[in-house]
C-alpha cells in the first residue's frame, strides 16, 4: 500500500455499490500537519486506526475535529446514507455525533481489526468485513430510495414520503433508525454536500453554487454552512483549497 500523506478513496466494487460508498485511506504526515475537520455527509464509517484498532464514526450534524498523532494511518469503509444502521445492528440515532469503540457494537467484529495490523491488511479486512455486514444485515431499501430522492435539488421530505407511499411519520422513524436523523436533516446535509462538491471542483461563484445546490439564496447557504461546517461559505472554500507548499504545509 502507498502510504504517502493524504486522503484517497477506492471503489467498493459493483456488488456493494448501493450499500458502501467507498473504501478509503488517510495518512497524516509525520510532521503533524493539521487535518481538516470532518464535515457531515449522512454516512457512517467503520474505521481502523494504526496502533489503536477499530471504531465507528456515527452520523454527524456538525464539524468534528480530526486530530490524530503524526504518522497515523486510518483505513475506513463508508456506508451510504441509509445502509449504516442495519449493517451495524443498531439504530443510528443512538450513534449521532459519536465515535464508538467497535468492541461496544456486537455486530462489528472489531477483534479482527487490531491496531497492530499492517495498513494493507487492515484495508483488506475492512473491505471484507463491510461487505459481510451489508450482506448479513441488508439495508432498508425504502430509506436508500428516500436518500436518493432527497439528494436532488429542490427535494422535500413530504414529497419523498408521497412518492414512497408512506406517511411522513413512518419515513421519519425509518430514517432515524437507518440514517441517524429525520428526512429534513438528511435533506439539509445532502444539499450541503452538493455545495461542497462544487467548491471542491474549483468553482468560486458562491451565488451560482448556492442556486445549483438548491439553497433559497446566498444568505440561506451562509446560515447552513455556519451550522454544518462552523465556517461561512467563503472561508470554508478557502480552507478546502489544496496546499501548494507540500505535504507538511498548511491546509
**pLDDT tens-digit map of 94-134:** 999 999 999 999 999 999 999 999 999 999 999 999 999 99
* Other Cβ atoms within 10 Å of 222 Cβ, number: 17
Higher-scoring residue by pLDDT: 241, 182? 182
What local confidence, expressed as pLDDT, does residue 247 receive? Answer: 39
What local confidence, expressed as pLDDT, does residue 41 receive? Answer: 97
Residue carrying C-alpha cell 490524530: 68
State whether 173 and 69 are in the same domain.
no
First to last CA, the chain: 24
What local confidence, expressed as pLDDT, does residue 33 receive? Answer: 64
Of 107, 136, 165, the domain-final residue: 136
Regarding pTM above 0.85, the answer is: yes
Of 136, 166, 196, the domain-final residue: 136
Q: CATH number of the domain that 159 lies in?
A: 1.10.10.60
Domain that holds residue 100: 6-136
State whether 124 and 160 are in the same domain.
no
State whether 72 and 185 are in the same domain.
no
Rounded to whole angstroms, how far apart are CA atoms 12 and 35?
24
Predicted confidence (pLDDT) at residue 250 exceeds the cutoff of 50: no
State whether 132 and 175 are in the same domain.
no
Predicted confidence (pLDDT) at residue 243 exceeds the cutoff of 90: no
Decide if 246 is inside a domain: no
Q: How confident is the model at residue 34 (pLDDT cuts 50, 70, 90)?
A: low
Of 136, 169, 191, the domain-final residue: 136
Which residues lie closer than 8 Å to 109 by C-beta, 6 or more apart?
Answer: 102, 129
Decide if 233 is inside a domain: yes
What local confidence, expressed as pLDDT, does residue 19 receive? Answer: 97
State whether 169 and 194 are in the same domain.
yes
What is the domain count for the chain? 2
Q: How confident is the model at residue 67 (pLDDT cuts 50, 70, 90)?
A: confident
Q: Quick: pLDDT tens for 151-161.
A: 999 999 999 99
Amino acid at each position: 500500500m502507498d502510504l504517502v500523506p493524504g486522503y484517497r478513496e477506492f471503489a467498493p466494487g459493483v456488488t456493494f455499490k448501493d450499500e458502501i460508498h467507498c473504501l478509503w485511506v488517510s495518512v497524516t504526515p509525520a510532521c503533524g500537519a493539521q487535518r481538516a475537520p470532518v464535515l457531515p455527509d449522512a454516512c457512517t464509517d467503520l474505521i481502523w486506526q494504526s496502533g489503536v484498532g477499530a471504531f465507528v464514526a456515527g452520523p454527524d450534524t456538525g464539524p468534528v475535529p480530526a486530530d490524530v498523532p503524526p504518522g497515523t494511518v486510518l483505513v475506513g469503509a463508508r456506508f451510504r446514507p441509509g445502509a449504516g444502521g442495519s449493517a451495524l445492528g443498531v439504530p443510528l440515532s443512538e450513534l449521532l455525533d459519536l465515535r464508538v469503540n467497535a468492541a461496544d457494537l456486537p455486530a462489528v467484529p472489531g477483534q479482527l481489526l487490531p491496531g497492530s495490523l499492517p495498513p494493507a491488511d487492515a484495508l483488506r479486512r475492512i473491505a471484507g468485513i463491510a461487505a459481510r455486514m451489508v450482506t448479513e444485515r441488508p439495508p432498508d431499501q425504502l430509506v436508500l430510495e428516500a436518500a436518493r430522492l432527497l439528494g436532488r435539488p429542490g427535494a422535500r421530505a413530504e414529497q419523498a414520503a408521497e412518492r414512497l407511499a408512506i406517511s411522513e411519520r413512518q419515513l421519519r422513524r425509518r430514517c432515524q433508525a437507518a440514517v441517524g436523523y429525520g428526512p429534513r436533516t438528511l435533506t439539509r446535509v445532502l444539499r450541503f454536500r452538493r455545495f461542497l462538491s462544487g467548491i471542491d471542483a474549483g468553482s468560486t461563484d458562491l451565488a451560482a453554487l448556492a442556486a445549483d445546490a438548491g439553497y433559497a439564496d446566498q444568505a440561506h447557504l451562509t446560515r447552513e454552512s455556519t451550522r454544518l461546517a462552523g465556517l461561512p461559505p467563503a472561508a470554508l472554500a478557502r480552507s478546502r483549497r489544496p496546499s501548494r507548499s507540500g505535504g507538511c504545509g498548511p491546509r
